[in-house]
Each structure stands twice: as C-alpha cells, then as structure tokens.
Amino acid sequence: MASQQKSGGDVNVPALLDLTIDNITPNTIRINSQSSNARLTYLMSRLVTHLHDFARETRLSTDEWMAAITFLIGCGQISNDVRNEFILLSDVLGLSLLVDNINHPKPAQGTEGSVLGPFHTHDAPTLPNGACMTADPEGEPMLALCTVKDTAGNPIPGVKIDIWETDSSGHYDVQHADRDAPSERCVMVSDDEGKFWFQGLKPVSYPIPHDGPVGKLLQLLKRHCWRPAHVHFMFGKDGWDRLITALYLRGDPYETSDAVFGVKQSLIIDLDRVDKETAEKYGVKEGIWLLKYDFVLTTQEETEKLKDRLAEEALKKLGLSLKLVDHLPVPDLD
C-alpha cells in the first residue's frame, strides 16, 4: 500500500503514486471510501474489485477496452425519451431479471415476477372491468378472466393493474410513429371478489429493438432477438409488494430461449376457447381465445422478511461479514 497523505480534509487517503497491476485495486477502493454513506462505499468497493479482476483475468486489451467504451457511447447515442438502450443491455445480460428476483422474492404460493421491458407507459386509460383494450382488427380476440388474491387465498379488492401487450403485428403502440392514443394497454381495478377481466388480443412473439448496439451484440453472440408471446401485468396496492410479471403462451417457438430471460414455468399458460355460457355472461363472441389466471400477491412485510432471510443466507454462503441496513448489506464493522 502506498504511504498516506492528507487530502485537504480530515480523511487519510493513500498517496496515489506508482500504482501497479497488483496494488491499484486496494488504493482505488481506499480513495473511494471517504463517504459517510456506508452503502455507497460498499457498492463502489465491490464494483472496483470485480471490474479490476475482470481486466486482470481476461488480460483486457486496449482495443477491447476501447470497443467497450464505443459500445457504451452508442447505447447513449441511440437512447431517447422512449428508448433506453442501457436497460435493453441490462435485459439481454440477464441483469434485469436477476435484480427483480433479488428484490421481489416470492414464497411458493406467490406469483413470480418477470421483466418490465421498455414499453410500459403512464398514459393507459383506466377501463371498467370487461372493457376491450384493443382496436386492432387483425388480431385474434381474447377474453381474460383473472383474480388477484393473497397467499391465504383471500381476494384483494382495489388493486390497480396495468396491462399491456403488442398489436397483432408484434409492435407496442409506442413503436408506431403515428401513435395518437394508447392502444393495447389499460389499467383495471380488481373488484370486491378480487376479479378483473378484459378483452385483448391473443399475444404474438416479437423481436426486441435490435437496430442498435444491443442488436449488434446479440448478432455477434449468435443470439436471436425474439421474445415469446406474452401479456404484461403490473399490480399495485398500498401495503402489497408491487408485482411486475407477464404470462407466456405455452408452445411458443421462443418459450425456452427468450432474449431477455423473462419466462418462468409458473407463468406459462394454455389458452382455451370461450364457451357459449361464458360468451353470454361476458358479452363476447363464442369461440374466441380465453385466458384464465389467478395471481397471488404478497404483502410488503412478507416480502421484506423473505428478502432479508435470503440475503443473510446468501452472504453467509459467500463468507462475507456484512449486516443488513434498510434490507441492504453493508460491511459489519462492529
């Protein structure tokens, strides 16, 4: 370790001279460790450790380092208000799903989460139960009959549910340059029995945006850019852990190779056909597609307890001496 010097303030930092492959990491961590924010210090320390180890392990070449910088610049340049290439990068690297799984763990009965994706908007109309959220004449109509319950099976009324899917061409409304109003999306509220129901389209598989740096990366990696057919759902109510998920159609050609890793067995569904009685009850045509699903939410308290327990187990396995502050690990210096 290089000798100490005063940094103008009252914190000792290393003299940053003659740094080598072997001592640059602890010195970078030391200079980054002056904040009173223990979590920030911990995050930066682990980031620098992994980043430096990556360069040492791969003997990262200058050309490769520059290619990565150029790639990130490209991600920034193609991003705008409605397109975020960095989130897409996180999605195709599996990071988005990993972060969701860490932060929203579910007990066995709870509905599992999936990736949010970039196509949720805040302008979807709140529609009454039974309403139709699409005006696409080409798609195959689908009735969805759903419930939202707690882990003990009690209905949860008053849950706000955002629902969105593509049109029959595999595009979200925001991907159409001439979009003048929201389409294939709505917000519903569960009724006193925890039920919500709506009319939409049988979902279709579609490619994620692949005309930018992330698309090029997938190509280099010989990966495809497709997502299996799905409908997105986001559930919110005070006191309940917000659930972002999606339902996927069984048998889709991309069921086991989703470009963004969002598919879970428990979220794969079989569609049925609407029979005469159901058609009459819900005012739809007999024979259209029928989606049925019972969603299960967990309380914020249940989720936080589970998250803490899983964090403690994971940290123990890693042999790290950490404590949880606000449900997040920081070094345990006591």
For residue 181, how far is the Cα from the chain centroid? Answer: 25
CA 226 to CA 268: how far, in whole Å?
16
295 sits near ligand BEZ (criterion: CB under 6 A): no
The four Cα atoms 276, 279, 285, 287 give a dihedral, to 10 degrees, of -50
Would you call 262 exposed, middle or buried from its count of C-beta atoms within 10 A (0-12, 13-18, 19+)?
Answer: buried
Task: Give alpha helix (H) positions in 122-259.
Answer: 213-220
185 binds, among Fe ion, ligand BEZ, none (CB under 5 to 8 A by kind): none
Whether the Cβ atoms of residue 100 and residue 244 lie closer than 8 Å to each other = yes
Residue (117 or 194) nearer to Fe ion, CB:
117
Residues 67-96 contacting Fe ion, CB under 5 A: none
Q: Beta partners for 233?
A: 163, 245
Minimal CB distance residue for ligand BEZ: 117
Q: Identify residues 81-140 at the interface with ligand BEZ (CB under 6 A).
A: 88, 91, 115, 117-119
CB nearer to ligand BEZ: give 154 or 265.
265
By CB under 5 A, which span of 45-53, 110-118, 183-191, 319-327 interacts with Fe ion?
110-118
CB of 231 to Fe ion, least distance (A): 8
DSSP 8-state code for residue 176: S
Q: Which of 260, 209, 296 is nearest to 100 (CA)?
A: 260
Closer by beta carbon to ligand BEZ, 115 or else 296: 115
Residue (165 or 302) nearer to ligand BEZ, CB = 165
Site map (CB under 6 A) of ligand BEZ, residues 183-222, x = contact: -------------------------x--------------
**Phi–psi pair at 99, nearest 5 degrees:** -65, -40
User: Which residue, 127 or 247, is less far from Fe ion as judged by CB?
Assistant: 247
Residue nearest to Fe ion (CB): 117
Whichever of 45 and 205 has its CB closer to ligand BEZ, that residue is 205
Binder of ligand BEZ out of 30, 227, 237, 307 (CB under 6 A): 227
Q: How far is the CB of 120 from ligand BEZ (least distance, A)?
A: 8
182 binds ligand BEZ (CB under 6 A): no
| Distance of closest approach, residue 210 Cβ to Fe ion, in angstroms | 14
Query: Does residue 146 bind ligand BEZ (CB under 6 A)?
Result: no
Please say which residue, 94 or 125, places its beta carbon nearer to ligand BEZ. 94
* Size of site (CB under 6 A) for ligand BEZ: 9
Q: How many CB atoms lie within 10 A of CB 59?
A: 7
Using alpha carbons, select from 173, 193, 195, 191 the residue that is nearest to residue 183.
173
Question: 181: helix, coil or strand?
Answer: coil
Say whether residue 260 binds ligand BEZ (CB under 6 A).
Answer: yes
Q: Between residues 115 and 159, which has the closer beta carbon with respect to ligand BEZ?
A: 115
Residue 251: CB atoms within 10 A of its CB come to 11
Joined tokens for residue 315: 């940290």
Residue 207 beta carbon to ligand BEZ: minimum distance, rounded to whole angstroms: 9
Please state, in angstroms and as integers, the Cα–Cα distance from residue 196 to each residue in 49, 123, 184, 278, 298, following that order: 48, 20, 16, 15, 18
Sequence-distant (6+) residues with CB within 8 A of 92 are 208, 214, 217, 218, 223, 259, 260
Three-state SS at 65: helix
- Binding stretches for Fe ion (CB under 5 A): 117
Binding site for ligand BEZ (CB under 6 A): 88, 91, 115, 117-119, 208, 227, 260
